Amino acid sequence: MIEIKNVTKIYKDKEREVKAVDDVSLNIKEGEIFGVIGYSGAGKSTLIRMINGLEVPTTGEVIVDGEKIDPTDKKKLQRQRSRIGMIFQGYNLLKTATVLENVMLPLKLEGLEKELAEQRSEKYLRIVDLWEQKDRYPAELSGGQRQRVAIARALAHEPKILLSDEATSALDPETTESILKLLLKINQELHITIFLITHELDVIQRVCDRVAVLAKGKLIEQGNVLDVFTNPEKEATKKFIGITDTMGVPLEILKPYTTNGQLVVLKFIGQTANEPIIADLSAKYGVSPNILGGGIGYLKKKAYGRLLVHFDFQGEKEFDDAMAGLRTQDIYYERVEI
Amino acid sequence: MSFINEWGPTIWTGFLETLTMTSITLVISVILGIPLGVLLVNSSNQGLHPNKSLYTVVNWLVNIFRSLPFIILLFLILPLTKIIAGTTIGIRGVILPLVFYCVPYLARLVESSILEVDSGIIEAYQSMGISNGKIIVNVVLREARSGLVRGLTITTIGLVGATAMAGLVGAGGLGDIAYQYGFQRYQPSVMYATIVVLIVLVQIVQTVGDICAKKLQRD
């Protein structure tokens, strides 16, 4: 659906060059929610803006729905853009227009007949649950409501793709949650592919199918959200998603546990995270587990957990058997050496 | 009472002359000044259609005309006034210099009120595939409208002031009456009366302008 091929963007200053995006390639499939996460200044914003031609790549190309985004061909670009919706952190609504006018004006400017524009506006304002507020002005709405208007405005063009540029970053957690639910609904019911950028881990966990981690313009890691969260390959990714082998437990607390037994990290995926498996281990294998740290995270479809556990045991065999037992239940383990 | 009987008609005529000069100039200036302001913003480096040479020329011209006091401008462009208006006297002869005085002024005010518009909104409309021309007319000017009204109010009041000099070419107006009768014939009461009318006029323009701008603001 969206192919980003070896895209590089260099901003030139009088004195220096800044590589905002450095040879990034991504392939976003139809119907998925793809998230790019990174700190501010990582190049996320530049990347997303290249998808609808608001930024032009220095080298490389972006292909949307089989067609290259070519900013030199204005007419074609306008046609392509009308099939790509975009929402922003700052909502970007007209202050001087009511909720309804905000959704309807772009449709009219696009050349839609008044009646059709009205029908569409009503349909999508109802989807975002704001039809009752149609005659109010943005200044009278909350941040979450404003973002809903912006979403309705984007949807009213009936795009195939929705780009979300930090759409929830200015919102409080509760409102963020409701906007994320709306994005999920749009994705599932209207079958719109969503490409979003964010610096909030939570957003990726809650709605994304796949994720890419961007740092200093470079793509560090990408994959299914579940894989990246449970098995991050790169150190930078681990840091970003807040997963380290010691789970934030201070070293002086862990030290005494290194003299006997074994420290391990257990990784749970899916429904096993909900079952009392650890408790069963001591009964079955005669090892004594001691949970030192960890947590359970909830992704879009699955829960995943990571636990730092110290096992005390009589002989290596007991430990190996216990670990083998865990493997049969789809629990992975990693020895932790300090 | 006798003062009103004696001077009322004169002041009323002057008031109408001022009103005529101001409104004709204003209409022409809006037609020319708003596009010129839009041109200034959009041809600049950060504009939608950057054009360095065009911007430099327009910017310079605006600055040059803005540096001239109206009374100088009035005489400077006399030959041009003669060609375009056919005469250099009366209301007909003063409109062109007033337009030359007013348009660059208004253009600057238009420029600054357009620059107030959040660039994110322009970007949002671009991202929907809407052409820059449509964005300027339907989005930018709309969002800037409150500032435009404020600019127009300032321009109108400036214009009322400039028309005072119009008496020099026989166009009449309130300023002319105040000068003629109050200063040259030493009849201060006439001068005070016209001043009161001018003050009331300016107050009304400012108040109406403020109310309109506030109504249009919406935030």
Say what percent of chain A tops pLDDT 70.
Answer: 97
pLDDT band at A275 (very low <50, low <70, confident <90, very high): low
Distance CA A278, CA B11 (A): 99
Tokens of A74: 């204005």
B219: nearest CA partner in chain A: A139
Indicate whether A245 belongs to any domain. no
Determine how many CB atoms are found less than 10 A away from the CB of residue A133.
Answer: 17
Give the domain CATH number at A180: 3.40.50.300
Distance CA B95, CA B73 (A): 12
Across residues A228-247, what is the average pLDDT? 76
**Mutation test of the interface with chain B: which of A55, A92, A146, choosing the one with the most B Cβ atoms within 10 A?**
A92
**Mutation test of the interface with chain B: which of A96, A141, A166, choosing the one with the most B Cβ atoms within 10 A?**
A96
User: How close does chain B come to A85, measured CA to CA in Å?
Assistant: 7
Pair A201, A181 in one domain:
yes
Among A209, A240, A271, the domain boundary falls at A240
User: How close does chain A come to B121, measured CA to CA in Å?
Assistant: 5
Q: Which residues of A touch B138 (CB under 8 A)?
A: 105, 109
**Mutation test of the interface with chain B: which of A50, A76, A109, choosing the one with the most B Cβ atoms within 10 A?**
A109
Question: Pseudo-torsion of CA A218, A219, A221, A223, nearest 10°?
Answer: 170
Indicate whether A113 belongs to any domain. yes
Strand, helix or coil for residue B44: coil
Residues 6+ apart with CB under 8 A from A2: A26, A27, A28, A34, A51, A62, A63, A64, A65, A161, A193, A195
Q: Are B62 and B104 in contact (CB under 8 A)?
A: yes
Please, how many CA atoms are within 13 Å of residue A320, restricted to the half-sphere of its CB? 3
Q: Kindly tell me if the per-residue pLDDT of B219 is higher than 90.
A: no
Pair A302, A184 in one domain:
no
Q: How do residues A50-70 score in pLDDT, each as one tens digit?
A: 999 999 999 999 999 989 998
Q: Kindly tell me if the per-residue pLDDT of A17 is higher than 80.
A: yes
**Out of A84, A90, A139, closest to residue B120 by CB:** A90
User: How close does chain B come to A168, measured CA to CA in Å?
Assistant: 16
Distance CA B108, CA B51 (A): 18
Distance CA B207, CA A250 (A): 68
Lowest mean pLDDT among A270-279, A300-309, B33-42: A270-279
pLDDT band at B24 (very low <50, low <70, confident <90, very high): very high
Say what percent of chain B tops pLDDT 90.
Answer: 54
Indicate whether A214 belongs to any domain. yes
Q: State the pLDDT at residue A272.
A: 56
Of A111, A133, A138, A112, the closest CA to residue A122 belongs to A133
Pair A115, A53 in one domain:
yes
A92-106, A236-250, B90-104: range with highest mean pLDDT:
A92-106
Say what percent of chain A tops pLDDT 90.
Answer: 50
Across residues A72-88, what is the average pLDDT? 91
Pair A174, A315 in one domain:
no
Distance CA B140, CA B149 (A): 14
What domain range includes position A132?
2-240
Pair A181, A260 in one domain:
no
Q: Kindly tell me if the per-residue pLDDT of A192 is higher than 70.
A: yes
CB-CB under 8 Å, A80 with B143: no
CB-CB under 8 Å, B130 with A94: no
CB-CB under 8 Å, A137 with B128: no
Enumerate chain A positions whose Cβ falls within 8 A of a Cβ in B: 52, 54, 74, 77-82, 84-86, 88, 90, 92-97, 105-106, 109-110, 137-139, 150, 153-154, 157, 163
Q: State the pLDDT at residue B11.
A: 85
Pair A123, A148 in one domain:
yes
Q: State the pLDDT at residue B136.
A: 93
Pair A90, A220 in one domain:
yes
Indicate whether A228 belongs to any domain. yes
**Mutation test of the interface with chain B: which of A105, A164, A166, choosing the one with the most B Cβ atoms within 10 A?**
A105
Among A188, A213, A240, the domain boundary falls at A240
Residue A244 has φ and ψ, to the nearest 5°, of -125, 165
Q: How do residues A164-176 score in pLDDT, each as one tens digit?
A: 999 999 899 899 9
Q: Which residues of A touch B139 (CB under 8 A)?
A: 94, 105
Pair A265, A231 in one domain:
no
State the ipTM, two decimals: 0.82
CB-CB under 8 Å, A79 with B129: yes
Measured CA to CA in angstroms, residue A18 lies from A2, A4, A220 at distances of: 25, 20, 18
Distance CA B174, CA B172 (A): 7
Count Cβ–Cβ pairs < 8 Å, chain A vs chain B: 73
Beta-bridged to residue A262, according to DSSP, are A311
Residue A59 has φ and ψ, to the nearest 5°, of -135, 165
Among A221, A240, A259, the domain boundary falls at A240
Q: Do strands A193-198 and A161-165 pair parallel, antiparallel, or not at all (unpaired)?
A: parallel
Helices B145-163 and B2-43: angle between axes, nearest 10 degrees: 130
State whether the Cα torsion B126-B128-B134-B140 is positive or negative: negative
Distance CA A47, CA A56 (A): 10
Give the domain CATH number at B96: 1.10.3720.10
Pair A120, A260 in one domain:
no
Q: Are A37 and A221 in contact (CB under 8 A)?
A: no
Indicate whether A59 belongs to any domain. yes
User: How close does chain B come to A15, measured CA to CA in Å?
Assistant: 19
Indicate whether A98 belongs to any domain. yes
Give the domain CATH number at A279: 3.30.70.260
Pair A139, A177 in one domain:
yes
Average pLDDT, chain A: 88
Distance CA A191, CA A160 (A): 8
Radius of gyration over alpha carbons of chain A, in Å?
A: 24
Q: Kindly tell me if the per-residue pLDDT of A238 is higher than 60.
A: yes
Pair A21, A111 in one domain:
yes
Across residues B5-25, what is the average pLDDT? 87
Q: How do residues B166-182 score in pLDDT, each as one tens digit?
A: 877 777 888 888 888 87
Question: Pseudo-torsion of CA A212, A159, A62, A72, nearest 10°?
Answer: -150
Tokens of A329: 């239940």
What domain range includes position B73?
2-217
Q: How do residues B74-83 score in pLDDT, each as one tens digit?
A: 888 888 888 8
Q: State the pLDDT at residue A190.
A: 93
More confident residue, A331 or A124: A124
Average pLDDT, chain B: 89
Residues 6+ apart with CB under 8 A from B189: B3, B7
Indicate whether A246 belongs to any domain. no
Indicate whether A56 belongs to any domain. yes
Pair A134, A275 in one domain:
no
Q: State the pLDDT at residue A303.
A: 79
Of A144, A139, A164, the closest CA to residue A154 belongs to A164
Q: Give chain B's domain count.
A: 1
Lowest mean pLDDT among A8-22, A166-180, A223-237, A268-282: A268-282
Tokens of B78: 């006399």
**Out of B129, B143, B145, closest to residue A78 by CB:** B129
